[in-house]
Structure formats: structure tokens, C-alpha cells
Structure 1
């Protein structure tokens, strides 16, 4: 949304949060990256409105702020899903078939790497290396590492994530049996 001054508009609460973050870094020499990190930590990503506000407040051209935010892989310019699925594409994982695992996640979620599902539940990322080469191929879902996977494992992993929190997982032999008449 654009206000009457031609600036992208934000809610007053969002502006107040940004002002606190900017004040915290006011004395830093080159505060852009720490400010971007704090804003992303607060909102989950860096919106266009946030970037424009930061540029004005720090008196840095918006193109420089956007260039920095888009250069570093740690920054996200769009909302991310509740569950982050990161498929390792490092050498060990690649040789062990991580490309097929990435394709299986993409097909199951209906998105490509770098995208988020329409319901906001999942984001899919291709990453260079997660440092678990001995478990190749590796996928990280949120902060949990899964190794020695195959494309056939993808539906089970997604089913576990789709289960409501706190709901116990039952194995097939634990399922309640219907009483015989």
C-alpha cells in the first residue's frame, strides 16, 4: 500500500518495532546487516516496506539496502513457511541422489525450491551443505536432520510434519481394533 507521500505504508506497530531496532544500532559503524538481521528475526522476512523504511532511516539508498538483503542467503524477501525443508545439494549428498529427494519434495508440496506453499505450512530450499556428509543424502526440516534418505521417504516425513502438535503417533499395530459383533 502506498501512502500520500509516495512511500510504502506500514502499520504503526510495525513502525514502532523498526524504530526500536534502529535505535539499538544507532551507534554501530555500518549497522545495515545487524539491522536487517534483527528486523528479519522480528518479522520472519524483510518486506519491501521494511527495506524502504530502513533505507530512509539509515540514509542509505534503497538499492544498496535491497542489494545487501538479496545478496546474502540468510535474508528472506518473502514470508517463509512454518516448516523449513532444506535439501542438501553438497557433493556427498548430490552423489547419493539428493536431486531426486528435492524433486520428490517439490512434487509432494507443489512448489519449487525457493518457494512457500500457498497455505504457509512449508518452504523448500536447496542448500549447499549442512555439514552431515556421513549421513548423505541429508535433509533438514526445521532444526532436525534426516539422513540416508531416498525419494520414497518424503511422504512419511511430510505426514509426520502435518500431524497436529501433541498428537501421539500410532504405529499400524497400535491402531484400535473394531470389536467383533
Structure 2
């Protein structure tokens, strides 16, 4: 599909404009420093607070500005190069003005085959913008997203990281039109309305907005496995069963499942085989080492034969 948009270069996205370098008004900087002090206090090393402070910059400016980089560097005793290196590494940090709402269309494998590609083409054409571009009214920044981590509801679209499940081209166009018009748009799961990019950025910086318990946290499709497990009384395996009498091998960090093919499941079998092999006689073995009935019988038989 031919477009006249989507041609902005990477350098255009990363160039820090002179406008973004203008110092903060005194009252804005004072409030930023007060909020930053609260964030920094949560970390044993203050440089560890860089990620939330960059979100805090976006909550004020709508993107990571040059003045925001300077202020973060000053507060955390970092160089501006160190701050910029982080700001340009993560895609949630925007180095050019972002829309009031970031709409991400998942086009990863499952969402794509379920209609994600069609949604992307339709909404991109409808808005007249391409990936990481913003509508003329400053309302919508459109993104092609690799995965929204909600495959059970594919195809999925997110608006400022709130879920809109089982979407179609028509429903997504209705979504962006509602956001642009200021209508009350409610996510499929999560809070009762979509917050602005600046509001969400403040939450990501670590300041709660009181909306965490609003709406549905997990839908039925996400809970099927849990329901089936409860109906059958299933629990997560913790290694070899106590009835086997074998000592369970240490599990791999982060791995709680023991399957027949896993190393944890093979370990008791290997240990058992080693004990069995050790039960066989070896040349020059002393009779006092016959510690099992089978071994004692074989030792007695050899004595009789001799």
C-alpha cells in the first residue's frame, strides 16, 4: 500500500530540538526535583533511579526532552551521554513529541494471523500516519508493536498500554476516533478509562493514580488454565515425590516444572542407577563391603565355589 507518510528518518526522530533544551520554569523544576528526591530515596544507589526519572520527564514534557536529560544527569550525578544512552535504548522513551495517546497495534505472529496486519493497514490509512508518527492534532501516536503479551485475546490493540482485546479494523478505527474526540473510551481490562500519555508516564515513574483496582484484571480466557487446575486438584510440581524415597535434585532457578524429560526428573533415576552399578562387585572387593542381600548372596556363592 503506497503512502506519503512514514518517511521521517531515524535522525529526525533522535535530533534534540532547541525548543526541548529550554530550561524549565522555576516552579516546574522545583516540583520535578521534589518528585525525583522521592523516587531516588527508594534505591540504594541513586543512579538506579534513572529509568523512573525518565518516565517522570515524559510526565512533564510528553517526551524525553533535552532539558529533561540535563536535569536527570544533574540529579543523579551522571553525564548527559549516560542518560541519553538509556533514553535512546528503550522504546517507551520518546525522543520526539508524542501524542496524547499511544496506540499500539500488535502485528506479531498470532495477532497477525488473527487480523493484526489488517488492523494496522486500516488504522494507518485512516489516521494518515505510519509507525511512530503522530496525527496532526497531536492526539494519536501510532505504533506497530511486536507483542502486547495478551495472545489469548488476539488480535490485541493497546492505548497507553491499556488492553483492547479481540479487535477488528472497524473497532480499532472506532477506538482512535473516540480518543481523538475526547469520548470516554473504556479498555477491555484495566481502569474504567484510558489515561493520557503524561498521566501514565507519572504512574510508570512510581506515583500511583489510585486506579489499580478498577475494572477487570484478567478475563475468562486468561483464567481457563487456573480453573481446570482447581477442578482437578492440580498443583505445581516441586520435584521428586516424597513416596519415591529419592532426594530431589535442585531445580533450575526460575523453573518450577518437572517433566519426564527434564533434568530434574532424570536426576533421581541417574542416582538410582549409580547405586545399582555400585552394588556390583569389583575385583579385590572385601567381603565386609557386602551391604545388600543380593550382594551378600553373590559373595557367599563365590566363597562356596572357591
So what's the TM-score if we normalise by structure 2? Answer: 0.46
Check the 8 A contact 1:8/1:52 in 2, yes or no: no
Q: 1:50 corresponds to which residue? A: 68
Residue 20 of structure 1: aligned partner: 34
Using the alignment, how far apart are the partners of 1:159 and 1:27 within structure 2?
Answer: 40
Residue in 2 that maps onto 1:69 = 87
Asked if 1:90 is matched to 2:104, the reply is no
CA deviation map 1:22-80 (0-9, x unaligned): 32216730222232233333443221111122213322121110110111223222333
Structure 2, unpaired ranges of 5+: 1-16, 185-306
Q: Which residue pairs with 1:100 in the alignment? A: 118
Distance 1:62 1:154, change over 3 A: same
RCO higher in structure (CA 8 A, sep ≥6): 1
- Contact map agreement 1:110 1:117 (CA 8 A) in 2: yes
Residues 1:99 and 1:15: Cα distance change in structure 2 (over 3 Å): same
**Correspondence for 1:113:** 131
1:8 CA drift (Å):
4.1
Alignment RMSD (CA, Å)? 2.6
Q: Mean alpha-carbon deviation: is it higher for 20-29 or for 65-74?
A: 20-29
Deviations 1:134-172 (A, max 9, x none): 3322212342413142x3544433344344436xxxxxx
SS of equivalent residue, structure 1 residue 94: helix
Unaligned regions of 5+ residues in structure 1, if any? 167-181
- Cα–Cα, structure 1 residues 8 and 158, in superposed 2: closer, same or farther, change >3 Å? closer
**Aligned 1:166-181 pairs, distance under 5 A:** none
Q: Which structure has the larger Rg over C-alpha atoms?
A: 2
Higher helix share: 2
Secondary structure of the residue aligned to 2:55 is helix
Aligned to 2:155: 137
Q: How far is the alpha carbon of 1:117 from its aligned partner?
A: 1.3
Question: Structure 1 runs of 4+ off > 4 angstroms?
Answer: none
Aligned residues of 1:21 and 1:39 also touching (Cα < 8 A): no
Shift in CA distance, 153/56, structure 1 to aligned 2, threshold 3 Å: same
Cα 1:122–1:60, aligned 2, differ >3 Å: closer, same or farther?
same
Relative to total residues, which structure has the larger strand share, 1 or 2?
1
Residue 22 to residue 139, structure 1, CA distance change in 2 (3 Å): closer
Q: In the alignment, does 2:147 pair up with 1:147? A: no
Work out the number of aligned pairs and report it: 161
Contact 1:10 1:49 in 2 (8 A): yes
